[in-house]
Amino acid sequence: MRLFLILAGSVLIAGCGEIWNDPYPVAEQGKNILYSVFSERPKHLDPAQSYASDEATFTRQVYEPPLQYHYLKRPYQLIPLTAAEIPQPRFVEKGGATYSVYDVRIRPGTRYQPHPGFVEANLKLDRDTVAKLKNPYELPLGARELKADDYIYQIKRLAHPHLHSPIFGLMAEYIVGLKEYAETLKKAAKPGEWLDLRKHDLEGVQRVDDYTYRVTLKGRYPQFVYWLAMPFFASMPWEADRFFAQPGMTEKNFTLDWWPVGTGPFMLSENDPNARMVLSRNPNFRGEAYPSEGAPGDAERGLLADAGKTMPFLDKAVYTREKEAIPLWNKFLQGYYDVGGIVSDSFDQAIRFSADGEPGLTPEMQARGIQLDTSIGPTIFYVGANMLDPVIGHAGGERARKLRQALSIAIDWEEFLSVFRNGRGVAAYGPVPPGIFGFREDKDAINPVTHEWKGAKAQRRSIETARKLLAEAGYPEGRDAKTGQPLVLYLDTTQRGPEDKSMMDWWRKQFAKLSVQFEPRQTDWNRFQEKLRKGSAQLFIVGWSADYPDPENFMFLLYGPQGRAKTQGENAANYTSPEFDALFEKMRVMQNSPERQALIDRLTEIYRRDAPWLGGFHPKNFALFHSWLGNAKANEMSDNKLKYLKVDPVKREALRREWNRPVVWPVVLILVLIALSIVPAYRNFRRRERMPARAAA
Amino acid sequence: MSAYIVRRLLYALPILVGVNLITFALFFFVNSPDDMARMQLGAKRVTPEAIEKWKAERGYDLPLLWNDAASGVRKFTQTIFVQKSLRMFVFDFGYSEDKRNIAVEIRERMGPSLALQVPVFIVGLAVCITFALLLAFFRATYFDFWGVVLCVVMMSISMLFYIIGGQYVVSKVWHLVPISGFQGGLDAARFLVLPIVIGVVAGIGVSSRLYRTVFLEEIGKEYVRTARAKGLSEGLVLFRHVLRNALIPILTGVVAAIPFLFLGSLLSESFFGIPGLGSFTIEAIQSQDFAVVRSMVFIGAVLYIVALIATDISYTIADPRVRLQ
């Protein structure tokens, strides 16, 4: 027993170093490593399939598409990544149709990370050899230069019969021959055999030379360049595909969906999605210069101090899975995570609003040197009105339009944000969020139907205005003027837990302002989606996060042919307006210009007049950084930000030691108390043992 | 006894089929194959073609239980139920809906779950039995009274409170162990010490009270008086005689708890960041991953059947009068 205690004690002390609660190995202390978290286990790390933002945390550091977003400049701006320049389309007329031709030229000299797929012998492994592997990187590693063929291979993979690329449907509409290519591959695929895509040509994607490939699109699609900044269009070496297609690989979970292979600054060196993921510096990375220009104020914040220096700055990034918010927050405060988000539970501890409503850090956070950065995401959450509904939709005509306008005024989104999101968001005046081309600032931004400009700020119109509109709609005091029946409106929602009661009460209060009866129809996610697909919901709350920073990516949510009930598109409100659709079709193929802005203004005006959404909000993200983290700036469009970040490990180590000194005396006290309580108990025990037998009563 | 075990194992087959059928019915009562496809493919830009492709690739394009389009026995076999269930009886769990090998996942996650649960189980059992025997020894004294009060208080507190409170005091205020996380090898001890202590402390209230009642019932029996009359010390009486004879009701509860050692603890693993099996099933239900749900329910059912047979066998060891026929 004594030996066990000594051994256990030694293990604990040896494992702890001077700080006992350090969750990382002692060997990592003082190293140039960034520590962060992930909460959801990623589903896909294959760039053809991955679409979720939590997956992008890993894929975007490994895979490199031809383009990227400027890290510092706002509004978001595309710049080359592996490409030599931003490809400009040539328009070709052929057979009465217009085609856009993009020649993407990549810079020579880019090399892949070390990978077993680049060693020829590793492409002929037998099942037994694979079965013995614990990690594919145990095999000899090789590398090679990036070629245009690798980008072509990846575009072909979007149509692979065994992959489910979320953008295949969209790209098949544009990339010449992609739809037919999927059929070709379907016929060519044989069960259990690797499908070599190099043997099958894709008409719309052709190799020009070693470093150039050509993509031909049907029609004009200026947004295509934004897709070239997403991992769907990253390079994929055929060798990696071949390597993971060998027998026995899938059984070991060695798949391309799990082990990314790229040219980026980092490579996934440890892959345990249940506990931790580690990105290590790619030794073959070509190096990239830190930006030397930024947005106004960036230089003052020290964000240009590393201008021109070679990235990446970190050797490693360790992501630990934290499912619960409380341990995550506490570990951030202890200095064990360099970056932290804010959840509602810890909001008051971290953030304090000034008199003019500006968020700032509490003195406790300031004392720790923590920095705050906020940004409005290219996202919108809105209450949609189903335009197929007879009461509130198109069939209701002018009456329904006024009803929707009245409700848009009554639903106080500013109050919603204050009550339920600690002010983390801004009310939406139109579909386009701030920071995206087409968004108007200040007075021009407001929705005149719901707001007015008073005292240099937007103010929601009075409830009397809403009541007046409601009366004009034929529902004075919330009752149908003809039948006298109360107006009942139904909100479909997936919020049905006890914790959502307060939110439902708030919704009821909004409708009660107009004396309209409110009925929440709380349902599960599947049924909710089914109602949207069938167009049987009346009011509903949904959200949209942009794929790229272009107004088209928001306005298309109101485009008639995208109607959810008819075409399973993204227009969940099933809104149709010939005028809107015609203007949208014009706007979407234009480059940003005053003419395009004028069209967006008009589209916004139509949206505000018709009110197919009863308002909504754009979430504001609050990010916290420790003082030892450098070059941190919120960037909602690009997830490849790891290469820009740097840490000061010496400062981090010193502060961790200061903040985490072990407090041993309470444990000693508890042990002493236990020992003291054992003594009388033992004495009592002994006394009773020695007690002579007592006579029976 | 061998015949008994074989018979019980044969009984297990219809039980497993039944469990499988109920899991299947419950799952598909809430989710359709279309819903599953949508959940796996994500919320954005999902086309009806993509859904059909996903279903066809995984065999979810078949009817659930009866295939009118097929002929003969294929009407029954060419269904989702049969196609997805049969392989599990040879412990081939296949792949999750996002194409991960479920057996590999279970193997990887079972280790951390066992590393947490086995010490909680063993230490907890030892502590609770010792504490209950002490309460029985000091019966009708202040020690017994306050001990029972303490048990009632401890069993009234939620596990969540123990975890959050423990993390706050031990890790955040005293900085003695990491708040959460996990590492393999000997280093795991640093991460496991707090959840183990919390797991043991949280279980003392319920178990000690139960065991105390069992011991008090035994302590009044005649063989105990005989043992004392022989001059045995009270310690020997309690630990050698009372404990052995009180084992049957204790074993009933204890052995049946063994499946939890493998299946893990949802709360502890989530809060302490232990990558075990505790949340595997819940996450699968949330992501509508039928492959994982059916595999975990199947494994749970098998473990329970094995644990119940082990309970019966343990009766024969604890009490030689018990015969399995």
Interval A152-171: pLDDT, tens:
999 999 999 999 999 999 99
Residue A153 near residue A241 (C-beta atoms within 8 A): yes
For residues A486 and A643, give the distance between their C-alpha atoms in angstroms, rounded to a whole number.
59
- What is the DSSP annotation of A384-440? EE-TTSTTTSGGGHHHHHHHHHHHHHHS-HHHHHHHHSTT-EEE-SSSSPTTSTTPP
The Cα of A210 is separated from the nearest Cα of chain B by a number of Å equal to 33
Contact in structure between A381 and A628 (CB atoms under 8 Å) = no
Do the chains contact at B49 and A169, CB–CB below 8 Å? Answer: yes
Q: What is the pLDDT of residue A9?
A: 52
Spell out the SS3 assignment of A547-596. CCCCCHHHHHHHCHHHEHHHHCCCECCCCCCHHHHHHHHHHHCCCCCHHH
A43 CB neighbours in chain B (<8 A) are 40, 98, 287
Could you give the angle at which helices B142-156 and B102-137 cross, rounded to 10 degrees? 150
Q: What is the per-residue pLDDT for B323?
A: 79
Nearest CA in chain B to A656: B175
Tell me the CA distances in angstroms from A588 to A204, A439, A554, A567, A661, one per residue in order: 22, 15, 11, 20, 59
Give the count of alpha carbons within 13 A of B196, CB side only.
22
Determine how many CB atoms are found less than 10 A away from the CB of residue A650.
10
Q: What are phi and psi of A76, to 5 degrees?
A: -60, 140
Instruction: Quickly list H helices, A116-165.
Output: 127-132, 148-157
- Measured in angstroms, the CA of A535 and the nearest CA of chain B are apart by 16
B185: tokens are: 């090898």
Contacts 24+ apart (CB under 8 A), A689-695: A689/B233, A689/B234, A689/B235
By C-alpha distance, which of B86, B66, B35 is closest to B294? Answer: B86
The interface predicted TM-score (ipTM) is 0.90
With CA atoms as reference, report the closest residue to A415 among A349, A510, A514, A511: A510
Q: What's the whole-number mean pLDDT along residues A289-316? A: 96
Give the nearest partner residue to B45 out of A167, A252, A334, using CB atoms.
A167
Higher pLDDT, A369 or B260: A369
Burial B1-21 (b: 16+ CB within 10 A, else e): eeeeeeebeeebeeebeebbe
| Cβ-Cβ contacts under 8 Å for A677 (sequence gap 6 or more) | none
Q: What is the mean pLDDT of chain A?
A: 92
Number of alpha helices (DSSP H) and beta strands (DSSP E) in chain B = 17, 0
Q: Which residues pair with A98 in a beta bridge?
A: A93
Q: Which of A21-35, A399-413, B190-204, B310-324 has the lowest mean pLDDT?
A: B310-324
Which residues touch B189 (CB under 8 Å, ≥6 apart)?
A: A8, A11, A12, A15
And the tokens for A465?
Answer: 């205005």
Sign of CA dihedral A646, A649, A650, A653: positive
Measured distance CA(B238)–CA(B244) in Å, rounded: 9
Q: Which of residues 116-145 of B touch A (CB under 8 A)?
A: 134, 137-138, 143
Report the pLDDT value the prediction gives residue A695, as an integer from 0 to 100.
Answer: 62
A423-455, pLDDT tens digit by residue?
A: 899 999 999 999 899 999 888 889 999 999 988
Q: For residues A34 and A648, give the distance between their C-alpha atoms in angstroms, rounded to a whole number.
A: 10
Of A51, A274, A331, the CB nearest to B275: A274
Return phi, psi of residue A16, to 5°. Answer: -95, -35
Mean of pLDDT values over A394-408 = 96
* A1 — pLDDT class (breaks 50, 70, 90): very low
Minimum Cα–Cα distance from A13: chain B residue? B190
Q: In the prediction, which pLDDT does A693 show?
A: 64
Radius of gyration of chain A (CA): 30
Q: B273 and A661: CB-CB below 8 Å?
A: no
Answer yes or no: do A251 and B143 touch at CB < 8 A: no
Peptide bond into A75 cis (omega under 30): yes
Mean of per-residue pLDDT scores for chain B: 90
Closest CA to A592 of A550, A627, A625, A626: A550
| Cα A217 from Cα A100, distance rounded (Å) | 5
Alpha-carbon torsion (A673, A679, A684, A685), positive or negative: positive
Is the pLDDT at A689 greater than 80? The verdict is: no
Kindly state whether B92 is in contact with chain A, defined as any CB-CB distance less than 8 angstroms: no
Lowest mean pLDDT among A402-406, A582-586, A662-666, B220-224: B220-224
Taking the Cβ of residue B224 and every Cβ of chain A, the question of whether any pair is shorter than 8 Å is answered with no
Q: In the numeric block, which tokens belong to residue A641?
A: 């930000």
| Residue A49 clears pLDDT 60, i.e. is over it | yes
Confirm if A555 and A587 have CB atoms less than 8 A apart: yes
Q: How far apart are the first and last CA of chain B?
A: 6
Distance (Å, whole) CA B206 – CA B192: 22
Tokens found for residue A187: 């016929």
Which residue in B26, B54, B110, B190 has the most chain A C-beta atoms within 10 A of its own C-beta, making it the best mutation to test that interface? B190
How far apart are alpha carbons A324 and B179 in whole angstroms? 11
Cα dihedral across residues B59, B65, B71, B74: positive or negative: positive
Query: Which residues neighbour A470 within 8 Å (Cβ) at sequence distance 6 or greater?
Result: A402, A403, A406, A476, A478, A514, A516
- A390-399, B233-242, B283-292: which is most confident: A390-399
What is the pLDDT at residue A3? Answer: 45
Q: Crossing angle of helices A413-420/A501-512, nearest 10°?
A: 160
User: Each residue of A245-296: pLDDT tens digit?
Assistant: 999 999 999 999 999 999 999 999 999 999 999 999 999 999 999 999 999 9
Residue A6's pLDDT is 47
Give the integer Cα–Cα distance in Å for A675 and A657: 32
- The rounded distance, in Å, linking the Cα atoms of A415 and B166 is 37
Tell me whether residues B179 and A327 touch, CB distance under 8 A.
yes
Cα of B4 to nearest chain A Cα, Å: 37
Q: For B176, which of A21, A23, A272 is closest by C-beta distance?
A: A21
Distance of CA A48 to the CA centre of its chain: 17
From A569, A72, A208, A131, select the one nearest B47 (Cα to Cα).
A569
Torsion of CA A73, A75, A81, A86, to 10 degrees: -130
Q: Is the pLDDT of residue A524 over 80?
A: yes
Rounded to whole angstroms, how far apart are CA atoms A117 and A284? 15
Q: Please state whether A28 falls in left (phi above 0), alpha (psi between -120 and 50) or beta.
A: alpha
* A contacts of B264 (beta carbons < 8 Å): none
CA distance A236 to A256: 10
Q: Using CB atoms, which residue from A166, A323, A525 is nearest to B45?
A: A166
Q: How far apart, in whole angstroms, are the C-alpha atoms of residue B288 and residue B281?
A: 10
Closest CA to B203 of B295, B132, B274: B132
Residues in chain A with CB shorter than 8 Å from the CB of B109 are 274
What percent of chain A shows pLDDT beyond 70? 97
Q: Distance between terminal CA atoms of chain A?
A: 45
Q: Comparing A8-17, A271-280, A311-320, A404-413, which segment has the lowest mean pLDDT?
A: A8-17
Q: Is the pLDDT of residue A5 over 60?
A: no
Find all residues with CB under 8 Å of A597, minimum gap 6, and list them.
A437, A438
- Name which of A407-421, A573-587, A589-603, B225-239 the model is least confident about: B225-239
Phi, psi of A40 (to 5 degrees): -100, 140
